[in-house]
Structure 1
Amino acid sequence: MSQSLTDFADLIRSAQVSAVHLEMRDTYGVANEVEGFDAWKRGHRLDRDDCASWWRPWLDLVQEVTARGVLIRRARIVSEPVSDYIAFEHSGTFTNVAAGEQVRWLPRRQASDLALPGNDCWIFDGRLVQFNIFDGVGRWVHTDQTDDPAVTELCVAAFEAVWDRAVPHEKYTV
């Protein structure tokens, strides 16, 4: 399924209780991050005091949804030592936290005994799963959605198992 950012924003806005995101790749090649990643590699870092320069409109959406009481959590499974891309993500994650997301990091070696879905996913209100499908170099290809109870149960259990073991962002160092 092809999905626009507007469609995804509407999906997050439809959440009543929670929207959780499980990320399991060590690198992503998402087009809208290329410029920021390249700048980061050249030494640029986000200014904690310049909120206007942060990742918009995503952070505005997070603030809007969390202000309604919806819990947004993100768990990232990462190899260590981390890839440059993960170090880049980590350096900017304070913006997600400031917007209202809760973020945790799990070293991949601590996930070996967990049953995990084959792709990154979002889970909305524990009832709808959206899998994000990437190609081999981390470019987004498409999304698949399901409300199949067995798949949803697997993904919810996987996310919660990762979340329980993972380190809160403010305590995880790269």
Structure 2
Amino acid sequence: MTLPITDISILDDGRLRADLEALLEDAVNSGASLGYHAPLAPHWKQAFWDGVAGLLSVSAHRLLIACGPDGDLLGSVQLALCTKPNGAHRAEVQKLLVFTRHRRNGVARRLMAAVEDTARGLGRSLLVLDTLKGDSGEPFYEATGWQRAGMIPGYTVEADGALHDTVLFYKTL
């Protein structure tokens, strides 16, 4: 799928901000484990994107978005660059989000390919990420060449109070 990906360095577009807030809400409310419980309250989605905007301003963070031919937001992914001297070769992939209505159309694969290309372009040779054990992300990351590094038990507390494990992945570029 040919899908243009845009690297956003400043989060100051009102329409994009509203679309990103809707994307986070869609993901959380459809069951994604992103640090929040459904239903996502408006103040949490605003606070989340305020935090991302702050990270973008210090150049240690990248936000990539995929938009359809009509300009509508389809999904996003983030890249957190390690700024420590001994970690200048690595980065963490965070918050791969695709609107539920656009899933299973190659958007996530395209975003992951773009975030890997971005990391390479920034001199990064090692990427890491984590995902909820049993989540749809687990087989997706394996299918796209990521290696399972291990599991952390009881990493998240879900809305019902139950503890859930997270799976760690890495990819050498």
Same fold (TM over 0.5): no
More helix by share: 1
State TM-score, norm by structure 1.
0.26
More strand by share: 2
State TM-score, norm by structure 2.
0.26
